[in-house]
DNA sequence: GTTATTTATAGCATATATGCTATAAATTGG
DNA sequence: CCAATTTATAGCATATATGCTATAAATAAC
């Protein structure tokens, strides 16, 4: 069974992949969070799309992590999955 | 002294405002979070803009809550303010 | 293994966020 | 007050997310 995080760990050993890791991380975690929210709501992509007033292909694209969605889209997802969207900037100890 | 949350509470009594409250809430809280992150970092809009590779007017627009930014922009803000971006969909008890 | 269901990809038009310059408005320091 | 700094707004070009249809690929049900 190939889970996305397995791929993730596997790819970590590829230097070229590591180079772009920072930029991709958010897309990975966001896509994962989205998939989890949809699972929790027990919806198919098509059903979620309907509640978001869009189409299944749009949801697939979002879950594929191929875009950096707007907060407008994130809000629609939250509402459609019975979730509450939370966005925060947490002080990063490592940086400060 | 006019704080954004004061205006918020004040406007809550205006019915017309209440009608669009849901759609605006996220912009309010996000803008507030952004302003806080910048304050924490001790940066002016111009300085933050420079670190984000953009201009002061763009930061002003974001903080004004007049746009629903992409996660790409949120990531830039996080990095520039020494923060870590967190996005999550939390199960909403009230809905379920 | 065949069918039905679900998910992923492609390609294009449209909407919206971003990037930018200039300038106004507001705030701060003296 | 005045000057300097900071923040807000306007307007336009560009980049990117979204909306859409169609179809392929993968999974699940039987």
- ipTM value, please give it: 0.81
Arithmetic mean of pLDDT, A49-77: 95
Query: Could you check: is the Cβ of residue B51 within 7 Å of any atom of nucleic acid strand C?
Result: no
Provide the pLDDT for residue B54.
97
Q: What confidence tens digit (pLDDT) does each residue in A13-47 have?
A: 444 444 445 545 666 789 999 999 999 999 999 99
> Chain A contact for B89, CB < 8 A?
yes
3-state DSSP assignment of residue B74 = helix
Cα B1 to Cα B61: distance, rounded to the nearest angstrom:
21
Task: Set out the domains of chain B in order of their start, with CATH numbers.
Answer: 22-80 (1.10.260.40)
Is the CB of A84 less than 8 angstroms away from the CB of B70? Answer: no
Q: Spell out a b/e string for B58-78, using b for 16 or more CB atoms within 10 Å of the CB, else e.
A: bbeebbebebbbbbebbbbbb
């Amino acid at each position: 069974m190939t889970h996305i995080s397995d791929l993730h760990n596997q790819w970590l050993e590829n230097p070229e992949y590591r180079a772009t890791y920072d930029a991709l991380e958010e897309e990975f975690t966001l896509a994962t969070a989205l998939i989890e929210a949809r699972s929790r709501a027990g919806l198919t992509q098509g059903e979620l799309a309907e509640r978001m007033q869009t189409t299944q292909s749009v949801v697939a694209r979002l879950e594929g992590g191929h875009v950096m969605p707007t907060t407008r889209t994130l809000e629609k997802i939250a509402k459609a999955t019975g979730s509450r969207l939370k966005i925060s900037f947490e002080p990063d100890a490592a940086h400060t």
